[in-house]
Structure formats: C-alpha cells, structure tokens
Amino acid sequence: MMLLTNVEGRVGMEPACAVLLEGRDALDAVEIGIRAVEADESVRTVGRGAIPNLLGEVECDAGIMDGVTLEAGAVAALKNHLHAISVARQVMQRLPHVLLAGEGAERFAREIGAAEDSLVTDESLERHARWLEKHVPEAVRASWPPGRLAEQAWVATREDPAGGTVVFLGIDARGRMAAGVSSSGWPHKYPGRVGDSPILGAGLYADGRFGACACTHAGEISMRACTARCVVLYVQQGAPLGEACRMALRDLQALRGGYRGAIVLHAIDAAGNPCILSNRDLGEEMAYYSWSEDAPEIARDSAIVV
C-alpha cells in the first residue's frame, strides 16, 4: 500500500491512509484525501476558500481514474458544490460519460445530492478585491465586470503562478491503483477556463500495469503535450519511471507559442516507486508527501528540478 500527494494534499494524508489501513480501495482513499483538502479553507486554490475567477466566482475542475479498469470520471467549471472530486467519481459510476462541464455538471451534482456550497469566503473575496484594486484602473472597477476580460486574464497569468491542484496517487492492499486531482484553477482566471485536471491523459492518468501520473501548475502545456499519459506510455515502452518523467518534460520543451509555464509531474510506477520532477524551481510549491506500509510515517520531500 502507498499514497503520494503534493504540498496541497498534506491535510488529506491521514484520512486517506486510514482508508487504506481499513482495507478499502485506492479509489476510496484518493477521494477521501482530496475531500479533506477541498473542505480546508487554508488551501487557497482548491475547493472552499479558493481564489475566484475574474467575476468573483469559484469554478472547480476534478478528475478520478481507476487504474484497474481504466474507467474515469471528471467535472469541469463546476460551481456551487464543495466536493468536485466526489461528483467526478459519481460521473464515472453512474453515467456512460467521462466528463461533464458547467451547467451540466452542476445539474448532475444536484441530482445526486452533492453538498452545495458557494465556495466563496469573505477572505477569498477580500483577496480578489485587493487584486482588482492593484491591477484594474479605478474607472474600470467602477463598472466591473467590463465587456472585455481577456486583457485581465493575461495580467493574472503574469502575476500569479499557475498552480494549486491537489494530487493523490495510491495503491491499495490488493495492488489496485487510482489517481485523483481537484483544483479551482488559476487565481483570477477567465471565466470558464478549464485546466488539465479533468482532462484524461493531460492532467492525470492511471494504468495499474505500468503506473500513474498527475500534473500541477501550467495545465495549458500539459494539455498540449498529453503529459500524464506520456509518462505512463514511456514506462509501458520500457523506460524506468525517472527517465519516463524526463522524457515527458523534454516533450514540453518542443512547445512553441502560447502560454508556457511551470509544471510539476507526480508519478508512481506499478511497484509504488515515486518520481516527482519540475521544470522550474518553485520552492515550497514543489514539496510532496508520501506514505507506505513499509514506512508508516508520512514523509516530506521536494521535487527534483530538471
């Protein structure tokens, strides 16, 4: 048994570990771990208390994947519901679809009785107001929102790092693998922006025969390169996990044009060996936590910069 999460996921490690120690599935552990993060207001880019988009709304993306069956569920731009990861899992279990977005995702969440919550807190609104005051001229703020928001979306890209996704990768007592991610995306993003988190093959992928990978930070580049799937595919083709992650990072170097930013890869192989690499030094944002039945204390380490 083992679990891996990034720095945002620390609060979810104990409940996720407890799920595995009870003999439950890796999917359960991944979901429970992420739910704890979504409910924690101190994590500013996941769930309740997250920094909103340019309109002051919190939109969440989440995805979950079963490494045994390769089934998956995801939601994008989901508003007004606390646990996007649980809605994503229900998409996997109840629908013939993989991904629901926007109003459809919100409708489905209501149908299944998912916990409703505006997700916006007084503190997050205050942070948003301060950002507007700093970056938006007073005349424009007086009639906010303006007819055109695109310029402000680029300001947000320059001023804030594109990070904040919570990642959980796990293997249970029967060797079953699962991966899950949840995020409210870029702070002050353009409304409706969907990152890589709910996109299979880009922000997450799990195949228990070979491994699993999930990405944080600049989802725009991992979507262009199908980064999470590439890591698993390179392992499938015979590369050791560390080299597979390096190959995926080299793929990103070929990208030209568009927004290109930092990314952190979190990956495990079928034996539960981890590899966490980043293409930039992001300081504390590169921290990750791991746990296994062989080393029962939750350990903290940092990604390797490549």
CA distances from 288 to 3, 266, 280, 304 (A): 11, 9, 15, 11
Residue of 5, 45, 165, 216 marked catalytic: 165
CB-hemisphere CA count at 13 Å for 26? 29
Both tokens assigned to 16? 């996720």
Residue in the structure block whose two tokens are 């015979």: 238
Total Cβ atoms within 10 A of residue 111: 10
Beta-sheet pairing, 99-101 with 177-183: unpaired
**Can 121 be counted among the known catalytic residues?**
no
Residue in the structure block whose two tokens are 């699962």: 178
Looking at beta carbons, which pairs linking 294-301 to residues 24 or more positions away fall under 8 Å?
298/13, 298/14, 298/17, 301/276
Tell me the β-bridge partners of 295: 292
- Packing angle between helix 227-236 and helix 241-253, nearest 10 degrees? 140
Catalytically active residues, by annotation: 165
